[in-house]
């Protein structure tokens, strides 16, 4: 009977050890669930960060494109302005030359009119 009592005690001890291990396993399962949730949370945060980075990169690319377009437009406007200034300068030179010619023709006309008047005065 001592043998069966020893077996019973061993059986009870084994059941207690089994219950203890089951509790530990249940605790580990809970920890695994928490870790899985944390991992999922970090994964979602990582995805959000990647999405923000992608959007920021796209905005940066769009800004670069707009800047390049703006620079090109500015260069075209500067070129047009230089052409207009050159045209105005040429027109001013042409206007000055035309004024000089007009003054010269006017002086010639005045001289001819005086000469005609002198001729008319001498005939009378």
Give me the tens of pLDDT residue by residue for the chain, a chain 124 residues long.
567 888 889 999 999 999 999 999 999 999 999 999 999 999 999 999 999 999 999 999 999 999 999 999 999 999 999 999 999 999 999 999 999 999 999 999 999 999 999 888 887 6
Question: What is the C-alpha to C-alpha distance for residues 78 and 84, in angstroms, rounded to an integer?
Answer: 10
DSSP 54: H
99 exposure class (CB count in 10 Å sphere: 0-12, 13-18, 19+): exposed
pTM of the model: 0.50
3-state helix, strand, coil in the chain (%, to 5): 100, 0, 0
At CB < 8 A and 24+ separation, what contacts does 90-94 make? Answer: none
pLDDT for 122 equals 85
Question: What is the C-alpha to C-alpha distance for residues 42 and 48, in angstroms, rounded to an integer?
Answer: 10
Encoding tokens for residue 58? 């796209």
Question: What is the C-alpha to C-alpha distance for residues 102 and 28, in angstroms, rounded to an integer?
Answer: 108
């Amino acid at each position: 009977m001592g043998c069966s009592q020893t077996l019973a005690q061993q059986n009870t001890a084994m059941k207690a050890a089994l219950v203890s291990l089951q509790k530990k396993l249940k605790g580990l399962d809970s920890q695994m669930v928490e870790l899985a949730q944390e991992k999922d949370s970090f994964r979602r945060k990582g995805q959000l960060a990647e999405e923000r980075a992608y959007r920021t990169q796209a905005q940066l690319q769009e800004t670069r494109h707009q800047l390049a377009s703006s620079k090109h437009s500015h260069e075209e406007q500067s070129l047009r302005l230089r052409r207009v200034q050159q045209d105005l300068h040429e027109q001013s030179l042409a206007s000055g030359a035309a004024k000089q010619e007009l003054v010269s023709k006017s002086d010639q006309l005045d001289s001819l009119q005086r000469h005609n008047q002198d001729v008319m005065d001498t005939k009378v």
